[in-house]
């Protein structure tokens, strides 16, 4: 029998014990500025590194078409956390600023509070590429490189700022894509459908087999670049004559 005089061990109090379910003020302001075109996405990501967000947990098998922003719910993970499928087919973890936003998305969802970096780590653990903030409302997509930076406690540096590709991205692509007599040069520009477009300038008159070989070589070399893997969310290759 335990000694009654022995003091009971105290159970540590949750850091969210006083959480009333409302949105973090700094994150809310960053989202308002971003939605109005008066603030960059980097401000939202920076606010996420300190803010509490809510991760929805849904009973397995429950699915719901969102019908907005091209997003719909995907398979439920083993933990009960649901993925949202993005327009390009990749899966993302939905997170919410407050309980009202989550309830509007799905009244059956149970909110799990988590700091932004922990939410990012949860997405990475499920091998989901991104975070989707407040889906079904003014949806904000947090790209994969930003999610990785959040999870690592690092500052996210976008690959493209105001339409200009960052110098280290250009240098990494140039270092990876070697030129020869068939590939005369490479340009790295902001993409329209993707984050970055890599324009390969080829000599005229190449056979299709030669073009295919160049594309395979470039894709292989880019896959070896840590900078490309960690900093770029999406890219496309475009061909042009030198």
pLDDT for res 67: 34
| pLDDT tens over the chain, length 242 residues | 445 544 444 444 456 667 788 999 999 999 999 999 999 999 999 999 999 999 998 876 544 433 333 444 444 444 578 888 887 788 999 999 999 999 999 898 899 999 999 999 999 988 888 999 999 888 899 999 999 999 999 999 999 998 999 999 999 998 888 877 888 889 999 999 899 999 999 999 999 999 999 999 999 999 999 999 989 999 999 999 87
pLDDT for res 81: 80
Q: What is the dihedral of CA 156, 162, 165, 167, to 10 degrees?
A: -70
Eight-class DSSP state of 194:
S
pLDDT for res 119: 94
Q: What is the dihedral of CA 158, 163, 164, 168, to 10 degrees?
A: 20
Superfamily of domain 160-241: Cation efflux protein, cytoplasmic domain (3.30.70.1350)
The structure tokens listed for 153 are 């406690």
Model confidence pTM above 0.85: no
Q: Where in the chain is the domain with CATH 3.30.70.1350?
A: 160-241
Residue 108 burial (CB < 10 Å; 0-12/13-18/19+)? exposed
């Amino acid at each position: 029998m335990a000694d009654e005089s022995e003091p009971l061990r105290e159970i540590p109090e949750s850091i969210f014990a006083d959480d009333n379910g409302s949105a973090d003020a700094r994150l809310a302001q960053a989202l308002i500025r971003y939605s109005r075109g008066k603030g960059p996405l980097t401000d939202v990501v920076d606010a996420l590194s300190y803010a509490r967000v809510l991760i929805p947990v849904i009973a397995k098998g429950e699915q719901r078409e969102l019908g907005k922003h091209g997003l719909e719910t995907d398979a439920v993970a083993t933990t009960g956390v649901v993925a949202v499928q993005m327009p390009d087919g990749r899966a993302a973890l939905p997170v919410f600023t407050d309980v009202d936003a989550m309830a509007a998305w799905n009244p059956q969802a149970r909110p799990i509070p988590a700091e932004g970096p922990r939410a990012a780590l949860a997405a990475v653990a499920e091998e989901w590429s991104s975070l989707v903030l407040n889906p079904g409302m003014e949806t904000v997509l947090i790209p994969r490189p930003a999610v990785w930076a959040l999870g690592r406690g690092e500052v996210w540096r976008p690959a493209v700022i105001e339409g200009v590709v960052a110098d280290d991205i250009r240098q990494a692509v140039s270092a990876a894509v070697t030129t020869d007599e068939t590939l005369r040069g490479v340009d790295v520009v902001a993409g329209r459908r993707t984050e970055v477009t890599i324009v390969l300038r080829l000599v005229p008159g190449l056979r299709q087999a030669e073009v295919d070989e160049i594309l395979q070589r470039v894709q292989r070399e880019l896959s070896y670049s840590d900078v490309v893997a960690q900093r770029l969310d999406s890219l496309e290759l475009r061909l042009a004559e030198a």
